[in-house]
Chains A and B, each alone.
Chain A
Amino acid sequence: MLVAALLLGVWTSAGAQTSTSSIPRTPDGKPDLQGFWDAATLTPLERPRQGQGKTLTPAEATAIERAAAERRDRGVRPSDPNRKAPPAGGVDSAGGVGGYNGFWVDRGSSVTSINGEARTSIVVDPPDGHVPPFTPEGRARARTRRELANTFDDVEARPLGERCLMSFGSSAGPPALPVMYNNIKQIVQTPDHVMILNEMVHDARIVRMHGPHLPGSIRKWLGDSIGRWEGDTLVVETTNFTNKTFFRGSSENLKVIERFTRLDAKTLLYQFTVEDSTTWTRPWSGEYVWAWSEQPLYEYACHEANYSLEGILKGARRQDADGSAGNVGRPR
């Protein structure tokens, strides 16, 4: 207990600690968050094992990183030209028909480490490292959405990522989570705005410093973000989400508080708290670090070449005609 308290103390003072260090600063003296950042991490959102603690031992962290490196090495080997076709219907949630090999996947090469502590999960509150249970309303909404995503009758039923409306996996956020690829972000900072570009679906989040939120009648896909500085930490509060924005079951009542703290030249600490009492039984929080990247972003023109969505819907119509429906619609 004492150890846990000490660790918690270290965590909550992370922002304050950096105020004396020599982080880059903008001409107006604020921490300079600008540049390209890589949000990839091997640390999952939730703790993989029940009862697991918050931190990994160095040996555990090394084992995870080594296993990831081996997976990556295996994944980039040339495919066997004589391999057999995958089973009908695929073998995993992505279909398992060979869509992604190691060339595509970039989950990073290390676990997230904060103040020298390698982490088992991004979620730190609740303390068990798991997203809290749904409220009955949240559970019902998630079920409805899951069932809808299992249908192919209308384009609107397909997930937002498939429709190129939003990044999948909350890559852009808020809150921004690491996903299987395209984890690079660009931050541009002026005295009045902070712009956070997410590579996937080229979503530019525009954070207005200070000022009131937009009227409640104006809802935005990525919400309306207002920023303020608390010491050396940029705090961003986002509300006004659309009722189509869907963060792990969230509703339009979602409120996200993000905290961006530049720990050093190479590290940005990203912390978030999500609140939606119509969805979860309590607010919950997570944190992980973004690593400085020399890699710029490239254009993610998704809709312009969304042959897949046409294929998915056309395929469903073909199955309707053949009476062969049944092999599609694996739950995500």
Chain B
Amino acid sequence: MRATRGARVFLAGLLSAASLIGVAPAPRAEAQAYRAPRTADGKPDLNGIWQALNTANFDLQAHVARPALALRSGPHGPVPAKEVLALGAVGAVPGGLGVIDGAEIPYQPWALDRKKENQANWLARDPEIKCYLPGVPRATYMPYPFQIFHSDKAIFIAYEYAGATRNIYLTDPGPPPVESWMGQSVGRWEGETLVVESTGFNDRTWLDRAGNFHSDELKVVERYSRTGPDHMQYEATITDPKVFTRPWTIRMPLYRRVEPNVALMDFKCVEFVEELVYGQYRKRPLP
């Protein structure tokens, strides 16, 4: 298993190198072999409830497990910060080999400093903590399912987390009229792949819980390709000339939630963070 996984990472590295020198990465073998069921207008059918199964939302980069997302110095190394101590093992961060091409996100020097500062101030700064809209591509690999509605006229994604939504325009409506949390997304088909270009973001969403961030010049190009009855390959290339030295790409499979009774549940977390955000303004603040 380890060898196979290593080979995949190596392959991803090769693909990345290819994209750097301007050669389009070859479609993955599975994508070539698999022909997805079609919608009425002959497109690969993306309908369904999907979910990522990885640690990308903890940290896009390769990382070993650590005691908590918020740490403080102990006499013999980092220990959980006081605010999260009571969570014990539940508050720990599982390790993962990362989902990016290459070893590290290509930050500009100032931006790398900011990323580290973000991570050190995770509790105060991660927009997920306050139930803010997740942005793109983070919405995809949040640990919640999302549902794609795909007809011959429209593609629409509803995310369980925070009830976030995205309409994927199939005709370009022109430049986004205003910046937003989820951006403006325009989709097109390249063979078996739905390519979605998103722009018009504000600078307030993050890319994971490790402080990875972007500016309002973020542009995301996502590629959704069915690779099997219950699998989809997802890639997102992130461009942001204010923050990164070059475009960079994340890749991961998405899994269909195959439970026969699967349905998106409510996760209106606004309610869940009211004590955190407004508790201090109670007439009688809780002890």
A interface with B by C-beta (< 8 Å): 26-28, 32, 34-35, 152-156, 163-165, 186, 188-190, 192-193, 195, 197, 201-204, 206, 208, 214, 218, 220-221, 296-299, 301, 303-304, 309-310, 313-314, 316-317, 320
- Interface residues in B233-287 by Cβ distance below 8 A to A read 263-266, 268, 270-271, 274, 277-279, 281-284
Q: In the assembled complex, how far is the CB of residue A34 from the closest CB belonging to chain B, in whole angstroms?
A: 5
* Chain A residues near B279 (CB-CB < 8 A): 155
Whether A26 contacts B133 in the complex (CB less than 8 A), given A202-B163, A221-B268, comes out as no
Once bound together, how far apart are the Cα atoms of A154 and B163, in whole Å?
24
Q: A34-B151, A155-B274, A163-B271 are in contact. Are A27 and B131 (CB under 8 A)?
A: no
Binds A, one of B6-14, B173-181, B207-215: B173-181
Shortest distance between the CB of B249 and any CB in chain A (Å): 26
Contacts of A297 in B (CB 8 A): 167
Taking Cβ atoms with an 8 Å cutoff, the residues of B that contact A are: 40-41, 47, 131-133, 147, 149-154, 156, 158, 163-165, 167, 169, 173, 177-178, 180-182, 204, 263-266, 268, 270-271, 274, 277-279, 281-284
Task: List chain A residues, Cβ under 8 A from B177.
Answer: 298
CA distance A188 to B180 in the complex (A): 22
- How far is it, in angstroms, between the C-alpha of A26 and the C-alpha of B41 when the chains are bound? 11
Smallest beta-carbon distance B197→chain A, Å: 16
Whether the Cβ atoms of A154 and B282 lie closer than 8 Å is yes
Is there contact, CB below 8 Å, between A202 and B270?
A: no
Q: Contacts A197-B167, A203-B163 given: A188-B271 contact, CB under 8 Å?
A: no
C-alpha spacing A195/B131, complex, angstroms: 23
Contact B274 A304 (CB under 8 A): no
Flag if B263 contacts A188 (CB, 8 Å): no
Residues of B within 8 A of A313 (CB): 278, 281-282
B283 and A195 contact, CB distance less than 8 A: no
Cα A303 to Cα B274 with chains together (Å): 10
| A156 and B283 contact, CB distance less than 8 A | no
- Name the A residues within 8 Å of B40 (CB-CB): 26-28
B132 adjacent to A186 (CB under 8 Å): no
Residues from chain B with Cβ under 8 Å of A218 in the complex: 265
